[in-house]
Amino acid sequence: MHGVALDLLILLTGIWLVAVTLRPLGLPTVMGELIVGVLLGPAVFGWITPNEAITLLAEIGIFFLMFHAGIETQPLEFFDALKRSLGVAVVGAIVPFSVSFGIATLFGLGWVAATFVGLTMTATAVVITLKSLKDLGLANTRFARVIVASCVIDDLLTLVFFGLIIGVLSGGDFEPLNILVTLGKVVGFFAVSMVMGRYVYPRLTLPFRSEGGKGFTFILMSAFGAGLFAELIGLHMILGAYLAGLFFEEKVAHPNLVKIVQDRSYGIAYSFLGPIFFISLGFSITFDIDLAEIGFVAALTSVVIVGQICSAGPMALRMGLPFREALTVGVGMCGRAEMAFILAALALSQGAIDKPVFTVLILTAFILNLFTPLALKGCAVLLQGKAAPHPGATRGIMQIDKFKDPLVEKRDVEISSQDVHLK
């Protein structure tokens, strides 16, 4: 127990140092946490040796990251944005997957490993992109709505196909019958989740409509239950965690409870367990890579950037955006962060890829996350106030501002409004 406590103290110190250093600069803390993992792990200083306790906390961290991502995505606004951004999202996912898959096969990877490389390079970095847009004053524009909605759709599509591939792998091979059975499981799982979210969630008045904002434990029960149901039918637990969070919103729960769940899940996902997961990724990174693997990183990074811009950009043009805004859409979808890291880690744990390929994926995602904010700054210069405003463009699709608004009961607001009116 003493050793585990010491490891946790070192990890939490690293997490805190990253937060106080990078957040004031507007840089994503995920990148700093990866660097901390590389420094603390076997690759450099070797101060922490990966053990069962850290592995368990990291796996729970994956669960909470996906649960929080679901909570942050508002379903009605999401489906409304889906209608407008579906073309950008689908084409902007197919092309990066295809070119990444092709590069992976050129470098000698098999079908399974190449498929996971393609999926990892399809998962976008919606939070980092939205943070960059907010810092540049571009969050309330029409192209920001397209970017965020398309990123969320891409991540959801990636999760669906990831579940399909995991299900097929659990069956042992890529026989057509196994693929059809797994596809049926995926469709059935999402159908059951949709029914639960649409018709059962709103009827749970006891845990969800408490004015005192109680019910966080019940939400976690729902998330773990959905995750276990996903694993029971051969899919992955993160699918259940994401969907359980997706359907939890103010339309089914008291505003106080929604705010409490958002804040608590954010704290667990991004201040404790999530950072432990990202640091643990650094433990698996090795510097024992040859020139071929360096070439793999360079080629993969290049084709993802070109493929993403040349696929999402033209589709944004087709939906009526001017050239500069369409270019910004393509650039804004180039980031690869939390979802990509999660998929890469799960692919490694499933034995679908080895550590050198895992290192290639993490380094590629790292470079893409450096490219995207810098390229968006260049796009902001090109736009120079020419971007069409869209008030509240990203509100409802993805919320990332935390711990700023006080918890206020609706009835208190209504009483105050009535007092003002009477006066």
Q: Is 46 left (phi over 0), alpha (psi -120 to 50) or beta?
A: left
The tokens of 408 are what?
A: 């206020």
Is pTM beyond 0.85 here? no
> Residue 279: how many CB atoms within 10 A of its CB?
29
Task: For residue 1, name the pLDDT band (cuts at 50, 70, 90).
Answer: low
pLDDT number for residue 390: 58
pLDDT tens-digit profile of 354-413?
A: 888 998 998 898 888 778 888 888 888 888 766 555 555 555 444 444 434 443 344 344
Task: For residue 418, name the pLDDT band (cuts at 50, 70, 90).
Answer: very low
Q: From CA 280, how far away is CA 345, in angstroms rounded?
A: 10
pLDDT tens-digit profile of 280-308?
A: 878 877 777 788 889 999 999 999 999 99
Q: From CA 419, how far away is CA 413, in angstroms rounded?
A: 10
Give yes or no for residue 68 having a pLDDT over 60: yes
Q: Which domains, ranges and CATH numbers included, belong to the chain?
A: 2-407 (1.20.1530.20)
Q: From CA 248, how far away is CA 207, in angstroms rounded?
A: 12
> Residue 406: how many CB atoms within 10 A of its CB?
6
Proportion of the chain above pLDDT 90, given as a percent = 13
pLDDT tens-digit profile of 104-131?
A: 999 999 888 999 999 999 988 776 676 6
User: When comparing pLDDT for 288 and 49, which is higher?
Assistant: 49
pLDDT number for residue 364: 92
Give yes or no for residue 311 having a pLDDT over 90: yes
pLDDT number for residue 33: 83
Task: For residue 82, name the pLDDT band (cuts at 50, 70, 90).
Answer: low
